[in-house]
Amino acid sequence: MEEKILSNEELANVDGGEVIRKFIQYKIVRGDTLSHIARVYHTTVEELVRINHIKDKNKIYAGDTILIPVK
C-alpha cells in the first residue's frame, strides 16, 4: 500500500475547507475496493465517497489517489 501523510497546508481545503482531522493520501492498486480500504483504515465506504467526491462507489481505478481520514 502506498500512503502519504499530508501536511497542514495540503489539508487546508479538504472536507469543505474546514480541517477536521488528518488524512492519508492513498494510491489505489489493482484489486482494491472501497470496502476493503475502509476496513483496513477503520472508516466507512460512505465517508470515503463523501471526502473524495466519488460519484460511483463501484468504480475506482488503480493509480488514482484518494484521501483517507486518520483517527
The pTM score is 0.71
User: What does the pLDDT look like over 22-62, one tens digit per residue?
Assistant: 889 999 999 999 999 999 999 999 999 999 999 999 999 99
> 3-state class of 71 per DSSP?
coil
Q: Which domains occur in the chain, in start order?
A: 33-71 (3.10.350)
**Angstrom distance (rounded) from CA 26 to CA 39:** 14
**Angstrom distance (rounded) from CA 70 to CA 67:** 9
Phi and psi at residue 43, in whole multiples of 5°?
Answer: -135, -165
Q: For residue 42, what are the contacts with CB-CB under 8 A and spacing of at least 6?
A: 71
